[in-house]
Chains A and B, each alone.
Chain A
């Protein structure tokens, strides 16, 4: 499949690969997708006292578009407030990466991963 230059760049040089400790109260983790479907994304955020996502990281099992979508997602949410991050739409990811129609699913997963990480962070704070 012919991917755009941006997908190839993120695929070859993925940004923010890694993991944060889940026990950190400032960390929110999202795990979306399923191995049987061929895509699993883990996206984590580290939120500071002002509610700003000061760091983000990901690990993705999936095709090139899935890796690129999650890599781009971590770049976009870094430095944003939770509210701003929550409003990121998959269509912007599709547009930025010029994803082919069969790969739109990957951008939806990335949006879901951001939302799941934020929900996890909020749940943790509420409990804490």
Chain B
């Protein structure tokens, strides 16, 4: 067992050996290093062919046509391209966009940018269980609504949104529907055709592929048009210019093909380990589950330990590579906006930990994690004045805290 134990697969995954090995063939003078846009020689043709193969591997996993995949630098760029692209291309039709408060920053910050550009954005508040209220969504749709952008699986809690129902609502009202599927592709089944999705963002490095490459699915029939944000040689059907990073595309294709083969086994593996982890810690007093074991993605377990602060817990669990829902370790001291949007009080949002597991996580690692969590919680609660007050029956809400 390697220490620290990596439990941050929602942040990034290691590249699968098979994927890395394949990528090496597309870099050096001995390999197929050509520019896929070179039409005049063998090097270019080879590169073009391998990109086509990768495009097929990727579209196969999500049920798309290979011509509907636009390569980007990652899901952040895909989200930017989708949201800004639709907004700017269709602004004559309307200027209203609907998203939710629990989206990734690359969606929220893009929407904020568009607000400054004269667009009006509705940020839906999910229900306490994290799910978007469909009636609430319907209520906020206006004549000027051109786009709804909702993520499939939340990156902090693993909560899965009802993409099919949302797409029905959008389709019946002729509104574009964009899904940020960064955390779901390859983990749970998603088929863009069955789900009537217009645009979908995803990334390679969340799925045992390389960093720096991602994709955007853009529906062809009926055609979804958007404004490009990078201009140049007209690559990627004019939607995203730039020389294709062939080795990364090859890696992404290979990792997506692997994911398609392994999706069922991976799901069972992840689901079992996540449940085992929760079962091992759920008996700790004052522990709260921010994920959903039945309706959540199998690889994310978000838990709050009351009366223990998140950053010190992460420090104390130094043998675990985990992250806090709270942004305490950055320059911002605010607790997680995602958890707060779900109505979780600040104290519990401050005490949250996201454990995210992956293909290489072992039972042994989970058992060790459970032991370490018990030990750390005990130690930090012995140190916590709030725990002492709670145990002696003091109502913490009755105290006038000094908020300076």
Contacts and interface: CB of A to CB of B under 8 A. Distances in A.
B386 A40 contact: yes
A61 B333 contact: no
A39 interface: yes
B346 A36 contact: yes
Interface string B358-402: 000000000000000000000000111111100000001001011
Nearest to B346: A36
8 contacts: A11-B316, A34-B401, A35-B346, A36-B350, A39-B309, A40-B386, A63-B311, A63-B328
B347 A102 contact: no
Interface string A33-63: 1111111111000000000000000011111
A32 interface: yes
Given A11-B312, A36-B346, A59 B384 contact: yes
A63 B312 contact: yes
B279 interface: no
Given A61-B307, A62-B312, A36 B383 contact: no
Contact of B328 (A3, A38, A40): A38
Interface of A: 1, 3, 11, 14, 17, 19, 31-42, 59-64, 66-67, 102, 105, 112
A38 B312 CA distance: 10
Contacts of A66: 309, 312
B253 interface: no
Contact of A42 (B311, B382, B385, B402): B385
Given A63-B311, A64-B312, A35 B388 contact: no
Nearest to A59: B385
B308 interface: yes
- 5 tightest A-B contacts by CB? A34-B401, A42-B385, A36-B346, A59-B385, A63-B311
A112 B402 CA distance: 11
Contacts of A11: 312, 315-316
A40 B312 CA distance: 13
B403 interface: yes
B130 interface: no
A33 B402 contact: yes
Contacts of A112: 402, 404
Contacts of A38: 309-311, 326, 328, 333, 335, 346, 350
A12 B88 CA distance: 54
Contacts of B345: 36
A61 B401 contact: no
Query: Taking each of A1, A38, A105, A112, which has the highest tally of chain B beta carbons within 10 Å of its own beta carbon?
Result: A38
Contact of A19 (B333, B335, B386, B388): B388
Interface in B277-317: 307-312, 315-316
A33 B401 contact: yes
